[in-house]
Structure 1
Amino acid sequence: MITAKRHTPARIFASFAVAASALVLVSAPASAADDRVVTRVSAAGRAAALAHWTPERMRQWVGDDSLPPAEKIGQEWPGPVPAGVGRLFFTAEPGVDESCTATVVPSATHDVALTAGHCVNGGLDRFDNPIRIVNVVFVPGYDHGKAPHGVFPVRAFAWPSTYSGPTSGTDDDAVIALDPVDGRHVADVAGTQDVSFDRPPSPVDTAVLGYPVSQAAGGEALFSCVRPATLEANSVTTTWNTDCDLAGGSSGGPWLRGFDPATGRGTIFSVTSRGTMTEDGVTTDLSGAAFTDPVRALYELAWEL
């Protein structure tokens, strides 16, 4: 997996999960029809998240010499951030600030975004203790410290029960539900990207978007790769793969087919899940889990969060 972590270039294939705390409530799947794991954040937890993520804290990675080298394939997005795409900030306790990428998607409530499962599933530490994910906020359109649409606290997040945590590449997807800001829903102010669960033919021309926390911009800018993605399946996982080199922080970013750079719109068919890094911290490839029926069910029930 690839996330941004302070003073660490990237977390690759780390093992994390979410546990209950005073600020969150984790509930196991209730039935076969509700085959997901849901975490709901209290009002106090949402207020704490907004207080935690000051503009200065969001920019804390800028100028960190320990970050991975700048991307060579991925390039900074040249115009306004495409509809619905933004930066997801959170804290993996005991106090490590991190970031991922997420995208607003169509929903009945107009307040749902899609990201990677490992961005909200903390897994276990080296002593097998659960790592809690707290202080979760989403900033659509984030650009060099600016939050043009506001900072949205996350009131709930969920992943399919088929996702077993950050050591797994299967169904590494999650949905997040956001509080309105000043009475405005995130989809109404930031727009959305379409989602399709029909598997496109392989290879497929793909635009991969994300906020890599590398020396190129320290997570402050959206980057993109326009590369072919190839479907690969084995006895364990089915993934889309590309040689895109976006660094940590790009996890959860959308993989878009039919993407039109002029309009900044396309159709999501996967999100960034994992990456391979050299000893020098250079990402050599990315993969995204192919959408499955459990992920479709997760998305279709996201409006209930």
Structure 2
Amino acid sequence: MDLKRASRRVVALSAAFSAALVVVAAPASAADDRVVTVVSEADRAAALAHWTPERMRQWVGEEWLPPAEKIGREWDGRVPPGVGRLFFTAEPGVDGSCTATVVPSSSKDVAFTAGHCVNGGLDRYDNPIKIVNVVFVPGYDHGAAPHGVFAARAFAWSGTYPGPMSGTDDDAVIALDPVGGRHVADVAGTQDISFDELPSTVDTTMLGYPVSKAAGGEALFSCVRPATLEVNSVNTTWNTDCDLAGGSSGGPWLRNFDPATGKGTLFSVTSRGTMTEDGVTTDLSGAAFTEPVRNLYERAGEL
């Protein structure tokens, strides 16, 4: 892990509390400009069998949880359209969760999240960590799955994404199987997404399912904060002082958010956070969208 200061560390904020998930970055090996994983029908069925309602409710990572958020607040009311909790397993058997958002697509089956939620990187022996049992639950709330549980049939990240230790192009798209013949966009709604150039400060609503002592990932939390653009020699990121814990990775950063409709425009997702020795998140960052990520999104309906 990168060290920002001696007592703080910068970590990817998926809630899979295993050091193996963030040991080193997996090199991208895309035949084109994407790295695509196709999930077999048997593996999709296994994912749905694995993530029973009981397992979803009971899984909160390890016994130790980070302290409750002080800036982030539990969402009051119905979960905004398209937002939900993403569950997965990192082989050889570490369950985890992130956040994802349904976005418009030609297939009506696409959700957008952070790259490290589906890219496990390499373990300490340089073996790829395979991510399996990927399911998405839009509208998740204390174990309830009001729109159903959607298995991933494929997921992809840009060939420019170096892996979980990097914040560059830390984005991914997930193609979901319909449930009962209905597409996720039709039953759960969508959030708009934009790749427009933005001012250096944006009023932002951030959403996520942090696995902290506040709710253990069982409820949606939000921060409403200004996001500022930071450009350096390594990457370009949006940054805020939001304190959502692990599990918020992949959660949408929305501008022009309308509380009445619950809709806004996604311009980044939660990627990394700075964490103190006590497990308190002091800030969040999200990768600024690039042309490779735009291309990834525009082709997501093909998955």
TM-score above 0.5, yes or no: yes
Q: Please say if 1:48 is aligned against 2:57.
A: no
Partner of 1:22: none
1:24-50 CA distance string (max 9 Å, x none): xxx95333xxx1000000000000000
Select 1:288's aligned residue among 286, 291, 299.
286
* In structure 1, distance between residues paired with 2:22 and 2:16: 13
* In structure 1, distance between residues paired with 2:96 and 2:62: 14
* In structure 2, distance between residues paired with 1:158 and 1:182: 24
* In structure 2, distance between residues paired with 1:212 and 1:153: 21
Q: Do the aligned partners of 2:20 and 2:122 also contact (CA within 8 Å) in 1?
A: no
Q: Please say if 1:178 is aligned against 2:179.
A: no
Change (3 A) 1:276 1:63: closer
By how many angstroms is 1:61 displaced? 3.5
Within a 5 Å distance, the mapping from 1:206-225 to structure 2 comes to: 206-225=204-223
CA RMSD of aligned residues (A): 1.8
Q: Do the aligned partners of 2:158 and 2:169 also contact (CA within 8 Å) in 1?
A: yes
Change (3 A) 1:28 1:13: closer
* In structure 1, distance between residues paired with 2:203 and 2:236: 18
By how many angstroms is 1:5 displaced? 2.1
Q: Please say if 1:297 is aligned against 2:295.
A: yes
Q: Do the aligned partners of 1:104 and 1:193 also contact (CA within 8 Å) in 2?
A: yes
Q: Secondary structure at the match of 2:58?
A: coil
Amino acid at match of 1:15: V
Change (3 A) 1:12 1:69: farther
By how many angstroms is 1:17 displaced? 4.5
Q: Please say if 1:4 is aligned against 2:15.
A: yes
By how many angstroms is 1:262 displaced? 1.7
Q: Secondary structure at the match of 1:44?
A: helix
Amino acid at match of 1:67: L
Change (3 A) 1:11 1:256: farther
Partner of 2:114: 116
Q: Do the aligned partners of 1:13 and 1:274 also contact (CA within 8 Å) in 2?
A: no
Amino acid at match of 1:171: D
Within a 5 Å distance, the mapping from 1:239-250 to structure 2 comes to: 239-250=237-248
Q: Do the aligned partners of 1:199 and 1:269 also contact (CA within 8 Å) in 2?
A: no
The count of corresponding residues between Structure 1 and Structure 2 is: 292
By how many angstroms is 1:62 displaced? 4.8
* In structure 2, distance between residues paired with 1:42 and 1:237: 35
Q: Do the aligned partners of 1:63 and 1:215 also contact (CA within 8 Å) in 2?
A: no
By how many angstroms is 1:127 displaced? 1.4
Within a 5 Å distance, the mapping from 1:104-183 to structure 2 comes to: 104-183=102-181
**What is the percent sequence identity of the aligned residues?**
80
Amino acid at match of 2:58: Q
Change (3 A) 1:62 1:12: closer
Instruction: Specify every segment of 5 or more residues in structure 2 that has no aligned partner in the other structure, as ranges.
Output: 1-11
Q: Do the aligned partners of 1:111 and 1:180 also contact (CA within 8 Å) in 2?
A: yes
Q: Do the aligned partners of 1:150 and 1:181 also contact (CA within 8 Å) in 2?
A: yes
* In structure 1, distance between residues paired with 2:250 and 2:20: 14
Q: Do the aligned partners of 2:239 and 2:285 also contact (CA within 8 Å) in 1?
A: yes
Partner of 1:24: none
Partner of 1:15: 24
Partner of 1:81: 79
Change (3 A) 1:11 1:225: farther
Change (3 A) 1:78 1:235: same
* In structure 2, distance between residues paired with 1:87 and 1:15: 25
Change (3 A) 1:235 1:64: closer
Instruction: Specify every segment of 5 or more residues in structure 1 that has no aligned partner in the other structure, as ranges.
Output: 19-26
By how many angstroms is 1:263 displaced? 1.2
Partner of 2:4: none
Select 2:93's aligned residue among 83, 92, 95.
95
By how many angstroms is 1:276 displaced? 0.7
* In structure 1, distance between residues paired with 2:133 and 2:240: 32
Q: Do the aligned partners of 2:61 and 2:211 also contact (CA within 8 Å) in 1?
A: no
By how many angstroms is 1:109 displaced? 0.6
Select 2:276's aligned residue among 275, 278, 300.
278
1:80-128 CA distance string (max 9 Å, x none): 0000000000000110000000000000110000000000000011111
Q: Do the aligned partners of 2:15 and 2:61 also contact (CA within 8 Å) in 1?
A: no
Q: Secondary structure at the match of 1:59?
A: helix
* In structure 1, distance between residues paired with 2:96 and 2:29: 25
* In structure 1, distance between residues paired with 2:159 and 2:300: 14
